[in-house]
Amino acid sequence: MSALPGKALILVENLSVPFDRRVWQESQTLRDAGWDVHVICPQGTKRDREPYVELDGVKIHRYPLTAATGGPRGYVREYGAALWHTMRLARKIGKAGKIDVVHACNPPDLLYLVAKVLKRTGTRFVFDQHDLCPELYLSRFAGRGQDFLYRAVCRLERATYRAADVVISTNESYRDAAITRGNIPPDRVFVVRSAPVIERFRQVDPEPELKKGKPHLLCYLGVMGPQDGVDYALRSLELLRRERDDWHAVFVGAGDTFDDMVALARTLKLDDVVEFTGRIPDEDLVRYLSTADVCLSPDPHNPLNDVSTMNKVMEYMAMSRPIVSFELTEARVSAGDAAVYAPANDEQEFARLTARLLDDPEERARMGKLGKERVEGPLAWSNSQKALLAAYDAAISATS
């Protein structure tokens, strides 16, 4: 039997809402099921700037936040400020009526502290594990190893698991982590896969001018951070250019290493064939993806990437684009035969596979069709909606 809808409070620190597509989809799903949905998140830099807004029935409370700089200490400052603002706003929302479910999305694994305060009044805690933070730390700060900050991150993850009534995992690898190292009963762990909003990714007519006079267009879409592999893609493209110059490449997105990647492209003498757009509106995004011949997913093999579902892969498939990826466990689970896979971090093979697809339009079309069928079938958001509502049912039933 489904839980009676009540008030749900979603906490997210990593992105603003509705820019965070997964959180926005979850919010809309809960709203449609009758929940009174509140979200606490940071303000965006260029969008999502209002401190409070109600969008499509979802009440969004935002706070100012300066992104981390300067390594781990910068993240300590960022997360401390986010925790203070989140606690402040959660108390304000709680005073207006009991919160039935608090739904915390990591990173960081600090938001359980807000949930613990709310649980004193009978609120149930759903932990939505977007990232495995110990693996994230090892991947982002590879040179530090398992130092005292890594051990602190592990303790915070364990504390979050202990506090949770239910865990939401983005894939089976994350579910296994919750069960094995979190000791969460399997019937309290639900896989809610991220999925693209199909309505957002509708093909339009290709625009050959986006190829800058070349026969082919390569496209990267996504965040540009230390673990996202844009540097691997650029080095692969430098190798590709030694063999052929019949392509133009566009990198869509922004992040911590954006300026460094622009500089790397210049160092590799790719600045005349590689274009960085920064973040762009959806209507421009679909223009590039509709024109692209091959899409790049250069996330290198590391402890986090191997077990994580990459949103860019799902979005490429929604646009029927063939993909070149490194060999990663969850990349294969997501893309299947819609991608070709280079051995882990092998830039030469990544370049070779890219060239192979550029020379085979029939194979590109076959792979694109397979990808589209996957995101509209077994990987569709409609399946994740059912799992999300089942997780809420389980959380509410934990009160008995």
Give the up-direction half-sphere exposure of residue 323: CA atoms within 13 A in the CB hemisphere.
32
Angle (nearest 5°) at CA 88 between 87 and 92: 110
Contact 16, 47 (CB under 8 A): yes
Sheet of 7-12, strands arranged across: 52-55, 58-63, 36-42, 7-12, 101-105, 124-129, 166-169, 189-191
Distance CA 95, CA 385 (A): 29
pTM for this model (two decimals): 0.90
Nearest to 244 by CA among 272, 207, 216: 216
Q: In which band, very low, low, confident or very high, does the pLDDT at 399 lie, cut at 50, 70 and 90? A: low
Helices 112-119, 72-95: axis angle to 10 degrees equals: 20
What does the pLDDT look like over 292-308, one tens digit per residue? 999 999 999 999 999 99
What does the pLDDT look like over 3-61, one tens digit per residue? 678 999 999 998 999 999 999 999 999 999 999 999 999 999 888 999 999 999 999 99
Residues in the chain: 400
Whether 181 has a pLDDT exceeding 50, the answer reads: yes
Rg from Cα positions in the chain = 21
What does the pLDDT look like over 347-394, one tens digit per residue? 999 999 999 999 999 999 999 999 999 999 999 999 999 999 999 999
- pLDDT more than 90, % of the chain: 86
What does the pLDDT look like over 194-245, one tens digit per residue? 998 888 888 999 999 999 999 999 999 998 988 899 999 999 999 999 999 9
Distance CA 155, CA 110 (A): 10
